[in-house]
Amino acid sequence: MSEMVSGGDVVGARLRAASMRRRRRSLVAPAWFVLPAALVFAAVVLWPSVRSLRYAFTDWSGVGPAHSVGLSNFKALGSDPQAKAALEHTVLIAVVFTTLANLLGLGLALAVETRRRLASLVKAVIFLPAVLTPLITAYLWQFILSPDGSLNRLLSDVGLGSLQQPWLGEPGLALWSVLVVLLWQFVGFNMILYVAGLKTVPAELIEAAQLDGAGRLRRLWHVVLPQLAPAITINVFLSAIFGLRVFEQILVLTGGGPGYATQTLSTLVYVRAFQEGQFGYGAAMSMVLTGLVAIAALALYAGLARMRRA
C-alpha cells in the first residue's frame, strides 16, 4: 500500500484505494482452485475414514459381509481389560512425554542458543533423530536395549552390572524404555521450536533485568518464560497430540509387548483390526481415540489460551 501512496497526493490515493476495494470482489480467487485438493482429500482420507467408522456398528472382519450389531462393540470396549490397559498407557505416555519433552526441549534450547562455536552443530545433531525413519528406533534401540545389548554391556563395563535390566522385556519397565526412545527421537522438535521462540525475546528486556540485578534463574522465570508463552502453547499442543497418537515407534520397537505392556490405543486398534480381523471392534476403538484426541486438543487450546491471558 505504501508504494501506491507515495505516487500521488493523499486524497488521490484514498480514491484509488476505494476503487481497488470495489474491484477486489472480482479479484477473489475462483473457488474451483480448491477443488483438486478438496477432492483428493475427500476421496482418499475423509470418505474412507467415514466408511471405516460406520463399521464400528458392525461385526465386519475385514472381508465378506458386515452385520449390524448396534452398540455392542462399544459395550465390549468397557469390559476389555486390554483396552483399559491401552487407554492407561496412552494417557501415561501423553502426559509424561509432554512434560519431559517440554522441560528437556526448553533446557536444550537454552543450552544451544548461545554464541558458542559448537552450538549450531550440536543443535543439528540433537534434531537429527527427528528426521530419521521409525525403523531407526526399531533396530538400533532393540539392539542397544536387548538383554546382552550395548546398554547392559556398558553398565557392566563401568562396574554397575547390578543395574542391568531386560529393558524391553520387563513389563513394568518396557513402557519407560519406550518413553526414553521417544524422547531421544523427538525432543529435538521441541528444542528447535523453543529456539525459534527464544529468538523473539527482545535482548533489551534481558539487559534491563540484568541491570536491575536479576540473576540467571530470575531472568529466566520472570523475563524469558512469559515471552515464550506462544512457543510453550504450540509445543505442549503438538507433543500432547503426538503422545496420544504415537504408533509406528511402538509398533516397530516392542509390537505392543511384552504381552500387552506397551500397547496403546493406536497400536491396539491396529492389532484388533488388522491382525485379528475384528475390524468393527477396531473401528469402535478408533472412534474413542479420535474423541480423546479431539477433547484433549480442545481442552489444551482453551486452557493454554486462558493461561496466556492471565
Partner 1 sequence: MRARVGNVAGEVGLLLLALVFLAPLLVGINLALRAPGLTTSYDALTTHPVLSEFTAAWRQAGMGSAILTSLLITGSSVLGVLVFAGLGAYPLARSTARWSKVTFGAFATGLLLPFQLALVPLFETMRSAHLLGTPWSVVIYEIAVNLPAAVFILTGFLRGVPVEYEEAAALDGAGPFGTWWRVLVPLMLPAFGTVAIIVAVIVWNDFLTPLLFLSGAASQTAPLAVYTFAGQLAQNYPLIFASLFIAISPLLIFFVVMQRHVIRGFAGGLKG
Minimum CB–partner distance for residue 261 and partner 1 (Å): 21
Our CB check for partner 1 shows the closer of 174 and 193 to be 193
The b-or-e profile of 47-76 (16+ CB within 10 A means b, else e) is eeeeebeebbbbbbbeeeebeebeeebbeb
C-alpha cell at 259: 504381552
**Binding to partner 1 by residue 134, rule CB under 8 A?**
yes
Handedness of CA 35, 41, 42, 44 (dihedral sign): positive
The percent of the chain in helix, strand and coil, each rounded to the nearest 5, is 75, 0, 20
Which residues inside 237-256 make contact with partner 1, applying CB under 8 A? 238, 241, 245, 247-248, 251-252
Which residues inside 111-130 make contact with partner 1, applying CB under 8 A? 111-112, 114, 116-119, 121-130
**Binding to partner 1 by residue 260, rule CB under 8 A?**
no
Which residues inside 220-239 make contact with partner 1, applying CB under 8 A? 231, 234, 238
| Cα 195 off chain centre by | 18
Q: Which residue in this structure is represented by grid cell 550395548?
A: 150
Our CB check for partner 1 shows the closer of 57 and 189 to be 189
Which residues inside 59-118 make contact with partner 1, applying CB under 8 A? 62, 108, 111-112, 114, 116-118
Contacts of residue 17, Cβ cutoff 8 Å, sequence gap at least 6 = 1, 4
**Quick one: which of 24, 216, 306, 309 contacts partner 1 (CB under 8 A)?**
24
**Binding to partner 1 by residue 46, rule CB under 8 A?**
yes
Our CB check for partner 1 shows the closer of 57 and 279 to be 279
Best CA proximity match to 184, nearest among 237, 145, 234: 145
DSSP-based three-state secondary structure for 28: coil
By CB under 8 A, which span of 5-13, 29-37, 78-86, 219-227 interacts with partner 1? 29-37
